[in-house]
Amino acid sequence: MQNQHLYRVMAWWSAAKTGLAKSESAPNVIHFAAPPQFGGLEGRWSPEDLLLSALAACFTTTFRALAEHSNFSYTDLAVQVDGTVRKVESGYMFERITIRPRLTLSHQEEHLQADGLLNRAKQLCLISRALAIPQAFEPTVEIKRPRVEANQAVLPGEDGLANHGE
């Protein structure tokens, strides 16, 4: 594996209030505009959305790589990233970003390892490490037992409830 990788994105205005961005690694362009709060168009990605999307995608791919390397299986991972922008003397800036991964597991016994992998993904995420703004990290781990199909019998005590002789 190489020690250095180059990524390149081109962006240009395509009309009065919209632009296009293209990456050498992806076949589709992204249509973007300033956010509506700054006179942009509704229904387009904004640079702010793209930044938060990059962070969410980076965290997700970093966690997946760590989980794969650790032979750790999970049911689902959803990552919500919120960013707060405020006006300061020099203009607008991101004040804070909050990363909220929600990891779903099948077994309670995996919870400790899940916490460790989530925290490690936060430490290793390339986009997170590139940002100087404060980032809150609020992970959630849920345990979700597989659903029992209608044609599967549940033995007494398997549903997590105590059997009281009924």
Predicted TM-score of the model (pTM): 0.82
Most confident of 38-42, 53-57, 141-145, 150-154: 53-57
pLDDT of 166 strictly over 60: no
The structural domains of the chain, with segments of one domain joined by +, span: 1-45, 46-143
Predicted local confidence at residue 26, as pLDDT: 93
Among residues 25, 156, 35, 160, which one has the least CA distance to residue 94?
Answer: 35
pLDDT of 64 strictly over 60: yes
Cross-strand pairs, 101:
79
Mean pLDDT over 28-50 rounds to 95
CB neighbours (10 Å) of residue 19?
Answer: 19
Helix (H, G, I), strand (E, B) or coil at 163: coil
Instruction: Report domain 46-143's class.
Output: alpha beta
